[in-house]
Amino acid sequence: MNVQEQTGLKSEMLAMAKAAHDAARTLREAGNETKNRALNEIAAALRTRTKDILAANKEDISCAGLSGAMLDRLMLDDARLEAMAKGIEAIADLPDPVGRELARWQRPNGLDIARVATPIGVIGIVYESRPNVTADAAALCLKSGNAVILRGGSESNRSCRAIHEAIQEGLRAAALPQACVQLVATTDRAAVGMMLEGLDGALALIIPRGGKSLVKRVQQEARVPVLAHLEGICHVYVHQEADLEKARAIVLNSKMRRTGVCGAAETLLIDRTILNSHGLPILTDLKNAGCEIRGDQTVCTLFAEAKRACDDDWRAEYLDAIIAVKAVDGLQDAIRHIETYGSQHTEAIVTENSKAAERFLSGLDSAIVLWNASTQFADGGEFGMGAEIGIGTGKLHARGPVGVEQLTTFKYVVRGNGQIRP
């Protein structure tokens, strides 16, 4: 890209930012009805445009030349488009996250202070090959009153553009500005760099959605706040007072229900004293379900089919049918292991001892800690929050599932009758 092209792209991106800023102004004061109308019209447009979207997707697929999991991420079909439309309708059905009174109190001088939820402003979303992010992210931002600038992966560019056209149709039908949802049309990577710089202060927040390398790049280069999910190295700890049947069900479900989600368990910790009683049946379940077991010395001695784990295994986010298994010496040892190797995403303890459970729940500093439940509940829908844009693993603003409420900020509204400060 030469200097002239660079300058052209830059002014194009800044024009998008300006339009988004103005659209955000309108959207901030748009009522729930208007936003819902747009969402439902977008869902309808996705259905009427199914043919065009699938044709665009077919072209993307033939150009990308992908296979396996990569192809699966990119691929759309009737069922997936219908799921996309239904997802948007479900977001419309959520209560309006904007305008909620988060707190309200009176001061002795008579001032009435309210903390009220407001949209964040303009959000930038950078994602990879999943075209459905175009619709999901747009819908979540719209519902929370934020304008959004989307930048999808180059391999899904045609699909994203076709979906974006449906979104534009929905916005028009609800008389909302087209710039509420903009898609960066160019596949030039320089556009991402410009977004990470914040587009002259226009972007209030960047959300990366994709693999670890994308998220790392965004976290390292962004000059604006980032809300991101980096890794889910989730643990299940089977405590010596665990109920055997609960432990078997929870470990199997945490690991094997779906192995590719961030809430899937990656490491199993078992108290040394119950290796024979609990460890063996649990490992047998996993093995029978097709899971590879990588154990420490003790586990490998106990279970002949286990491979020997190396240090990297304790830090691995397999996202696959593999589990690292370690024998531990009680609760403190388990906590220490999780603190050392974990990613502060989601951890579960299985025990009938409530004191041990509470020590685990309070002792760990992960976004989600569970007692006697599967780590696969780490999901906005399962939390009752509706759709989510991801699971935040940072400490600021939001942690855990990021749904429409987490895409808002707040302001203080103070009502007085002439008060001045002494």
CA distance 128 to 208: 9
What are the E-state strand segments in 25-96? none
CA distance 325 to 307: 10
Q: Which stretch binds a second copy (CB under 8 A): 7-15, 161-169, 183-191, 369-377?
A: 369-377
Count the residues of the shown chain that bind a second copy, applying the rule CB under 8 A. Answer: 66
Residue 129 binds to a second copy (criterion: CB under 8 A): no
* C-alpha separations of 42 from 25, 174, 179, 268, 359 in Å: 21, 10, 15, 43, 47
The pair of three-digit structure tokens given for residue 58, joined into one six-digit string: 């077919």
150 contacts 161 by C-beta, under 8 angstroms: no
* 211 CB burial (10 A radius; 0-12, 13-18, 19+): exposed
Binding mask 217-236 for a second copy (x = CB under 8 A): --xx--x-x-x---------
In the complex with a second copy, the residue whose CB is nearer, 281 or 394, is 394
Question: How far apart are CB 5 and a second copy at their closest, in Å?
Answer: 26
Q: Which of 10, 28, 172, 287 binds a second copy (CB under 8 A)?
A: 28
Instruction: Report the site for a second copy in 76-105 (rule: CB under 8 A).
Output: 105
Q: Which of 10, 47, 100, 397 binds a second copy (CB under 8 A)?
A: 397
Question: How far apart are CB 91 and a second copy at their closest, in Å?
Answer: 19
Residue 383 binds to a second copy (criterion: CB under 8 A): yes
Residue 399 binds to a second copy (criterion: CB under 8 A): yes
Binding mask 170-199 for a second copy (x = CB under 8 A): ------------------------------
Residue 120 binds to a second copy (criterion: CB under 8 A): yes
392 contacts 227 by C-beta, under 8 angstroms: yes
CA distance 221 to 189: 13
* C-alpha separations of 171 from 164, 177, 181 in Å: 10, 7, 9
In the complex with a second copy, the residue whose CB is nearer, 126 or 368, is 368
In the complex with a second copy, the residue whose CB is nearer, 91 or 222, is 222
Residue 262 binds to a second copy (criterion: CB under 8 A): no
CA distance 75 to 83: 13
CA distance 35 to 175: 10
The pair of three-digit structure tokens given for residue 406, joined into one six-digit string: 């987490």
User: Which residues would be at the binding site for a second copy (CB under 8 A)?
Assistant: 25, 28-29, 105, 107, 111, 113, 118, 120-121, 204-205, 219-220, 223, 225, 227, 243, 245-246, 249-250, 252-254, 257, 339, 357, 361-363, 365-374, 376-377, 379, 382-384, 394-397, 399-400, 409-421
